[in-house]
Structure 1
């Protein structure tokens, strides 16, 4: 998975960071990915990269969330990188498809994304934290939704009325990525 490590490094260098949380995440990514051999697999230790898709409807007023069974919160679709993933963007779209049934075309440059490093509870087993690269994706809000084995529900939520059970800092993350899509 060395090419995924190189893709992580490329994205970290090019990331637009506007908040202290994003600056801290970029510093953490830079530490873990000092070279192309950073932790891209859950087998690389308790702290590793993940890819996610922050999905917006065409009007950019709603976002697609899954209710995560282990975490007990609403969150964007995403997860661990796999050997067959050609890039972080491809991994994010694979996770989107697996967790919601939504299929979107391949993402094109320039990518709109963010960096987020978050700790995990003991319910996640040996995973202690995820260094997540979240790709902004626009999808058809009429696409048929499928609930995966990892989730208990999947649905569109108004960005201005997200559910109460979201991770710390999640609302800001969604709004920042949405705003980057409109620039």
Structure 2
């Protein structure tokens, strides 16, 4: 079911950015070739789902200091068998990693939809295993006004940062995602 949803969500998603269009095409080709393309066991690549937690009223985002890569990132990770949709996987990950109940994904048109795609190399199978490619589908999660974060065991730290005050230990992908979030909710 999540495979069909991923194909549907990526087929419906549109963007004006050439690089993002190419990634969408690549993700759809991956799913056409791999019925198991959303699972961690699919090598050398698999789809992942993430969500940038945003507090629009305060103009800030919640980031996690990822223990494996040592960078401040959005919440996210691998799809699990109980996830029925990519959006559900992204929301589950954001809720688990932020500890914030009541998150909701930003709807585009009438339902939650991806806002960006990012392809990156990781060692999710262990230090002694070869790198994998994460084909990340990124959403925006809106925090309730009274949101109180709670650090999980999946993070070294968890902090709010203003749109204009991101920490140095981030990458270009996160910075582009935050800029897009600012345009969409700010």
In the superposition, the TM-score normalised over structure 2's length comes to 0.85
Give the alignment's Cα RMSD to 1 decimal. 2.3
**Which blocks of at least 5 consecutive residues in structure 2 are unaligned?**
none
Partner-residue secondary structure (3-state), 2:164: helix
Bigger proportion of residues as helix = 1
Would you say the 8 A contact 2:51–2:140 is kept in 1?
yes
Task: Determine the structure 2 residue equivalent to 1:164.
Answer: 168
1:117 aligns with 2:121: no
* Distance across 1 between alignment mates of 2:35 and 2:15: 23
**d(CA) in 2 for partners of 1:36 and 1:46?**
11
Q: Distance in 2 between matches of 1:84 and 1:123?
A: 20
Secondary structure of 1:42 counterpart: coil
- Structure 1 gaps of 5+ residues are none
Task: Report the counterpart of residue 22 of structure 1 in structure 2.
Answer: 20
Matched residue SS, 1:140: coil
Partner of 1:97: 95
Change (3 A) 1:165 1:18: farther
* TM value normalised by structure 1: 0.86
Q: Which residue of 1 aligns with 2:5?
A: 7
Tell me the number of residue pairs that the alignment of Structure 1 and Structure 2 aligns.
Answer: 180
Q: Given that residues 115 and 131 in structure 1 are in contact (C-alpha distance below 8 angstroms), is that contact kept between their aligned partners in structure 2?
A: no
CA shift at 1:35, angstroms? 6.5
Residues of 2 paired with 1:24 and 1:99: CA distance? 30
For 1:40, what is the secondary structure of its paired residue?
Answer: coil
Report Cα offsets for 1:113-161 as digits up to 9, x if no partner. Answer: 2242322244763551111111111102542212122210111111111
